[in-house]
Amino acid sequence: MFDPADPEASLAPSPRPTVRQAAKQLPCAAVAAAREGKRDVAVVRSASGQLYVVDDICPHDGGRLADGYVEGERLICSRHNWEFDLVSGVCPHAPQRRIATARLAMPRR
Ligand code: FES
């Protein structure tokens, strides 16, 4: 939020960790907020341990996917429970809606 009394603070970088920082601490079947440059993303470790990076916005109604949860190889948005396949990004209930997803090559801790 812009604070006219402290315009520099409004330009401060996001307090989110980097993707690598978030991924290092992430257990299986969990999701965390992160940043990739200036972009807000969600880092997801699936139940099988594979890491993914997805945009932190749900295509249904703008919910933060980093607030969601993981079941198997799917990420579920906590607002209305739409689910997204982490490999394809497709929502099985609304295949025309999908999220951008990318596998992240990083060893388990
Ligand atoms: S905003 Fe994500 S399911 Fe509705």
Task: Say whether pLDDT at 84 is over 80.
Answer: yes
- CA–CA dist 13, 24 (Å, integer): 21
CA of 4 to the centre of ligand 1 (A): 33
Q: Is 84 in the pocket of ligand 1 (CB under 6 A)?
A: no
CA of 83 to the centre of ligand 1 (A): 9
Residue 76 lies inside a defined structural domain of this protein: yes
pTM score: 0.84
CA 50 to CA 48: how far, in whole Å?
6
Residue 16: is its pLDDT beyond 60? yes
Q: How confident is the model at residue 41 (pLDDT cuts 50, 70, 90)?
A: very high
Helices vs strands, H then E, count in the chain: 2, 7
Range of the domain at 61: 14-104
Question: For atom 4 of ligand 1, which residue has the closest CA?
Answer: 80
Residue 31 to residue 101: CA distance in whole angstroms: 13
For the CA of 58, the nearest atom of ligand 1:
2
- Distance CA(30)–CA(74), nearest Å, equals 11
Question: CATH no. for residue 87?
Answer: 2.102.10.10
Nearest atom within ligand 1 for CA of residue 61: 1
Question: What total number of domains does the chain contain?
Answer: 1
Cα 37 to Cα 18, 63, 76, 82, 94, distances in angstroms: 8, 20, 24, 27, 30
pLDDT tens column, 55-71: 999 999 999 999 999 99
Residue 39 domain-assigned? Answer: yes
Buried b / exposed e across 22-48, counting CB within 10 Å, b at 16+? Answer: bbeebeebebbbbbbeeebbbbbbbee
Is pLDDT of 1 > 70? Answer: no
Residue 60 domain-assigned (yes or no): yes
**8 Å CB contact between 39 and 55:** yes
Query: Does 89 reside within a domain?
Result: yes
Q: Is the CB of 60 under 6 A from ligand 1?
A: yes
